[in-house]
Amino acid sequence: MEDLSFILNELGEDRAHYYNAVSPPIMQTSNFRVNTVEGLKKLFADEYSGYLYSRGLNPTVDILRKKLAALDEAEDCLVFNSGAAAIFAAVLANTRQGDHIISVKNPYTWVKRMFDDIFSRFGVETTYIEATEMEQFERARRANSRFIYLESPNSWNFALQDIEKVSEFAKKYGLITLMDNTFCSPLYQKPIAMGIDMAMQTATKYIGGHSDTLGGILTGSRQMMKKIFDSEYLAVGSGIQPFNAWLLIRGLRTLESRLERITATTQQVLRYLKNHPRVEAVLFPLDESFPQYALARKQMKNAGGLISFYVKAGSRQEIVRFCENLKHIMMAVSWGGHESLILPRCASIKDEDFDPQNLEDRMLRLYVGLESAEYITGDLEQSFLLSF
């Protein structure tokens, strides 16, 4: 891989072209002047070859694409206006009526909606599997299987897939693989280097890093990215806007240092939670207690700031109080930004269905942000004392 510092600070930037400005300009233009009819002809024939219209290529977005492709050790990259848009384009481009998809059991919520509510309407069926053993893939495979959807680790329970083994399986049967790598980011895991065809990550999380923009990243071969660009990307118009691309370039400058800080703080918060009498168990892929710890060690360089834990609660109300009594840690979806966040599983369960005997119902997901470990554990501590 190219040097990380080089990628984040220089790659893709051509400062001589814009007055040697250190920060690149935002090319806030919808269209580009073309000087000759011959030039227009060439762009109409292949819009991936130059600048014509910002629904296609844009120079600010291109700086970002080069950096993100290099981070994933991929040939090429497309950036979308959200992670969901990136996934949708990748699946749409590679399936047709009558195809079959094999997916991990609990993909990101909106991915499941895509498969169940949208692709199903066009005759594309999905089989969900545990995806922890290769024989589950063998059993799910049909003659019309075309696509494998992976997410490792999962962003709630951190379930992993053996990426190298699944890649081998997919190659053997000519299936296309897409993996959601948002949990790790390219700094901690490299799906493409392990044989996956396309890696996706939400730029909304670690890449943006400041909870102020959405974005979705798709990396893969030049041929695959061009195929998606020529059809779904241009036809649907789901590419990222130049200003948001600029925010993501800005986010990338500090990606390495933010992740280092978050990773270190997470270790301290994890230790605190593991030792807390109100915590029944913690889930963290790089904790020795994690069921797939060995696999996590094998394929992940590190883990980021997500920790799930189960509280010893006798009622839903205790969990509600715990979340609402936090003074600094906010209750919000998303993660990867500067701010620590909490999300209780019971918010997705009907009140009457809450079962204190069920461990899953007592699950909370904590995202550790850029605050100090003391600030975060102090807030957890005061809320534990007040709420139980």
Ligand X SMILES: *Cc1c(COP(=O)(O)O)cnc(C)c1O
Q: Answer yes or no whether residue 58 interacts with ligand X by CB under 6 A.
A: no
- Which of the stretches 58-66, 201-209, 258-266, 343-351 binds ligand X when contact is defined by CB under 6 A? 201-209
Q: Answer yes or no whether residue 181 interacts with ligand X by CB under 6 A.
A: no
Closer residue to ligand X in complex, CB, 129/184: 184
Taken in order 111, 112, 116, 120, the sign of the CA dihedral is positive
CB of 241 to ligand X, least distance (A): 14
Task: Provide CB contacts within 8 A for 71, sequence distance 6+.
Answer: 4, 7, 186, 187
Phi, psi of 151 (to 5 degrees): -145, 110
Sequence-ordered alpha helix ranges (H) in the chain? 4-9, 37-45, 59-71, 83-93, 109-113, 134-140, 163-173, 185-188, 222-228, 242-253, 255-274, 293-299, 316-324, 373-387
CB of 220 to ligand X, least distance (A): 17
* Contact pick of 202, 213, 244, 387 for ligand X (by CB under 6 A): 202
* Contact pick of 94, 95, 189, 204 for ligand X (by CB under 6 A): 204
- Which of the stretches 46-54, 67-75, 82-90, 276-284 binds ligand X when contact is defined by CB under 6 A? 82-90
Q: Answer yes or no whether residue 216 interacts with ligand X by CB under 6 A.
A: yes
Please state at what angle helix 242-253 crosses helix 59-71, rounded to 10 degrees.
40
Q: Answer yes or no whether residue 103 interacts with ligand X by CB under 6 A.
A: no
Q: Answer yes or no whether residue 208 interacts with ligand X by CB under 6 A.
A: no
- Which of the stretches 28-36, 37-45, 200-208, 352-360 binds ligand X when contact is defined by CB under 6 A? 200-208
Q: Which pair of structure tokens corresponds to residue 340?
A: 């620590």
Instruction: Look at residues 371, 375, 250 and name the one whose alpha carbon lies nearest to residue 305.
Output: 371
Amino acid at 386: L
Q: Answer yes or no whether residue 220 interacts with ligand X by CB under 6 A.
A: no
- Which of the stretches 24-32, 81-89, 120-128, 348-356 binds ligand X when contact is defined by CB under 6 A? 81-89
* Contact pick of 24, 56, 59, 83 for ligand X (by CB under 6 A): 83
Count of residues interacting with ligand X (CB under 6 A): 12
State how far the Cα of 34 lies from the Cα of 140, in Å rounded to an integer: 51
CB of 189 to ligand X, least distance (A): 13
Q: Answer yes or no whether residue 155 interacts with ligand X by CB under 6 A.
A: yes
Q: Answer yes or no whether residue 251 interacts with ligand X by CB under 6 A.
A: no
232: number of CA atoms within 13 Å, CB side? 21
* Contact pick of 58, 60, 82, 244 for ligand X (by CB under 6 A): 82
State how far the Cα of 292 lies from the Cα of 224, in Å rounded to an integer: 32
Residue 112 to residues 92, 108, 204, 205, 257: CA-CA distances in angstroms?
Answer: 14, 7, 19, 20, 33
Using CB under 6 A as the binding rule, the residues of this chain from 312 to 341 that contact ligand X are none
Q: Answer yes or no whether residue 108 interacts with ligand X by CB under 6 A.
A: yes
Rg (CA), the chain: 22
Instruction: Look at residues 222, 175, 182, 174 and name the one whose alpha carbon lies nearest to residue 199.
Output: 182
**End-to-end Cα spacing for the chain:** 50
CB of 216 to ligand X, least distance (A): 5
Closer residue to ligand X in complex, CB, 51/156: 156
Instruction: Look at residues 197, 201, 177 and name the one whose alpha carbon lies nearest to residue 189.
Output: 201
Q: Answer yes or no whether residue 214 interacts with ligand X by CB under 6 A.
A: yes
Q: Answer yes or no whether residue 361 interacts with ligand X by CB under 6 A.
A: no
Closer residue to ligand X in complex, CB, 23/348: 348
- Which of the stretches 80-88, 119-127, 220-228, 315-323 binds ligand X when contact is defined by CB under 6 A? 80-88
Q: Which pair of structure tokens corresponds to residue 264?
A: 């270190």
CB of 106 to ligand X, least distance (A): 10
Closer residue to ligand X in complex, CB, 106/268: 106
Cβ-closest residue to ligand X?
83
3-class secondary-structure state, position 8: helix
Site string for ligand X, 367-386 (x = CB under 6 A): --------------------
Closer residue to ligand X in complex, CB, 266/383: 266
If you search the block for the tokens 């996590």, which residue do you land on? 296
Q: Which residue ranges make up the site for ligand X (CB under 6 A)?
A: 82-84, 108, 155, 180, 182, 202, 204-205, 214, 216
